[in-house]
Amino acid sequence: MCLGIPGQIIEVTDADNLMAKVDISGIQRQVNIACIVSEQHPAADCVGDWVLVHVGFAMSIIDAEEAQKTLQILAELGEVQEELDAMRQSATI
Amino acid sequence: MKYVDEFRDPEKARALKNKIAQLMDQLPHTEKKPLLLMEFCGGHTHTLFRYGIQQMLPSSIEMVHGPGCPVCVLPRGRVDDCVVLAERPDVIFTTFGDAMRVPGSHKSLLQAKADGADIRMVYSPLDALELARKNPERQVIFFALGFETTMPSTALTVMQARAEGLTNFALFCNHLTTAPTIQAILDDPDMHIDGFLAPGHVSMVIGEQPFQFIPERYHKPIVITGFEPLDILQSIYMLLQQIVEGRCEVENQYVRIVQKQGNHPGLAAIEQVFELRDSFEMRGLGTLDDSGVRMRPEFAGFDAEKKFQVPNLRVTDPESCQCGDVVKGLIRPWQCAEFGKLCTPESPMGALMVSSEGACAAYYNFGDLPELMAKRQAHLDRESAA
């Protein structure tokens, strides 16, 4: 029930009824975009957005910057770990 | 797949695994007395098993599987109500797939379909709406399941039906609310959870605020979590950091999707269509006050409970069925006497063996079955000796 999948909006097909075409790994389907549309972000602006698709609805825009930040934090965790391991291995005492 | 593959990177998983082990070294917990962390959501249980995350964790951490699986907490009586609705000759009954195999008192929806009822599996409530448009002489009912994650999609579909003036579309509303369910776990004297992984897609809709009561009133840390393996590992790491540092707050790991204030259009749609019920029954947890939602009176024309007669009986599970204890994390699936014997995915006795998010199905499908069955036997021997 919680299974959402990322996809990219490629076309707004019905601006009045807030329907768009989304591409999910090459598969295309219609989704309702009511949850991602606002005054600041009208239907036309949604083309190109990466969104989380769930039961035929685009539920949320995926924030590319935040995704990058998360991956960066995780990469740094690994780098610190590698540093510590290297220090441990080269310790002469 | 973009936004999926990056969050499955094994190297980053290894780094998190090491950090988690380091933090556990600073805590007094052991395998005999482990730190108990609950992943509330069935989707998280599924990820835990699919990627063998429990095996990556030190044995001083035990993941307790929570009741956040809408199919798993469906009471038997509610399935019977679905069958009654579906067996009406004028009805096309539509539902998400995993609800179809949950056993009722006499039959499941799948069995009712085999017996001739017009029951159709749909991916989206919009598919059910389309069926209503295409079949004006039939009454289309959509079985609305799920916690807050699926409330916006159901609500928006009903609003669309109303806008089009349809008179043959209705919801059988079984939406559940997350906060009262977590509270029931916290209030249960048998449960002693040290920290929670909050359901990421519920939070996507409702934001962070509804979880504040958990650190504020119960002094337990909680981290809003995504659904890929790195998300779960990072959340466990964040929970451990809170515990080691003596902090207790709501944190958001799933920042690429979840905003603090939730989803405004989704919340607005929910507010328009639904209202809180006085009480609602959930398998295993019993009847919770101020929990679950029903449709507002102005949507009575789209409410299956108002349009049709539904028995609405409370039906207890068979005596040997321990779905209730497993679903709230009191016992593990292999501690149920029926696990792997009379209850298997091919012939399930209860909902937890049916749903892909259910703990029992997860253990059965992804666990070491011979080992689990041996543990089960040892547990039963201990119980009968006691």
pLDDT tens, position by position, B199-243 = 999 999 999 999 999 999 999 999 999 999 999 999 999 999 999
pLDDT tens, position by position, B43-66 = 999 999 989 999 999 999 999 999
Amino acid identity, position B140? V
Structural Rg of chain A based on CA atoms = 20
Instruction: Give how far the C-alpha of residue A27 lies from the chain's centroid of Cα atoms, to the nearest Å.
Output: 17
pLDDT tens, position by position, A31-88 = 999 999 999 999 999 999 999 999 999 999 999 999 999 999 999 988 877 777 787 7
Helix (H) or strand (E) holding A31: strand A27-32
- Are A57 and A67 in a shared domain? no
pLDDT of residue B236: 98
To the nearest whole angstrom, how far is the Cα of B320 from the nearest Cα of chain A? 27
First to last CA, chain B: 52
- Are A42 and A72 in a shared domain? no
Residues on chain A touching B156 (C-beta within 8 angstroms): 32, 34-35, 57
pLDDT tens, position by position, B334-356 = 999 999 999 999 888 888 888 87
- Are A74 and A54 in a shared domain? no
**Could you tell me the CATH number of the domain that includes residue A47?**
2.30.30.140
CA A82/CA B372 separation, integer angstroms? 37
Sheet containing B139-146: order of strands: B119-121, B91-95, B139-146, B169-175
Query: Quick check: A6 contacting B, CB < 8 Å?
Result: yes
- Are A57 and A71 in a shared domain? no
- Are A32 and A51 in a shared domain? yes
pLDDT of residue B356: 79
- Are A7 and A36 in a shared domain? yes
- Are A1 and A17 in a shared domain? yes
- Are A8 and A50 in a shared domain? yes
Query: What is the per-residue DSSP string for B264-312?
Result: HHHHHHHHHHEEE-SEEEETTTEEEET-SEEE-GGGGGGBHHHHS----
pLDDT of residue A93: 58
Query: Quick check: A16 contacting B, CB < 8 Å?
Result: no
pLDDT of A18 above 90: yes
pLDDT tens, position by position, B274-304 = 999 999 999 888 899 999 999 999 999 999 9
CA B44/CA B50 separation, integer angstroms? 10
- Are A31 and A7 in a shared domain? yes
- Are A29 and A67 in a shared domain? no
Model confidence, pTM: 0.93
Q: Which residue has the higher pLDDT, B186 or B330?
A: B186
pLDDT of B177 above 60: yes
To the nearest whole angstrom, how far is the Cα of B3 from the nearest Cα of chain A? 7
- Tell me how many domains chain A contains: 2
pLDDT of A5 above 70: yes
- Are A34 and A55 in a shared domain? yes
Instruction: Kindly report the backbone phi and psi dihedral angles of residue B235, in degrees, each rounded to the nearest multiple of 5, phi listed first.
Output: -65, -40
Domain span at residue A76?
A: 63-93
CA A35/CA A47 separation, integer angstroms? 14
- Are A68 and A57 in a shared domain? no
To the nearest whole angstrom, how far is the Cα of B334 from the nearest Cα of chain A? 24
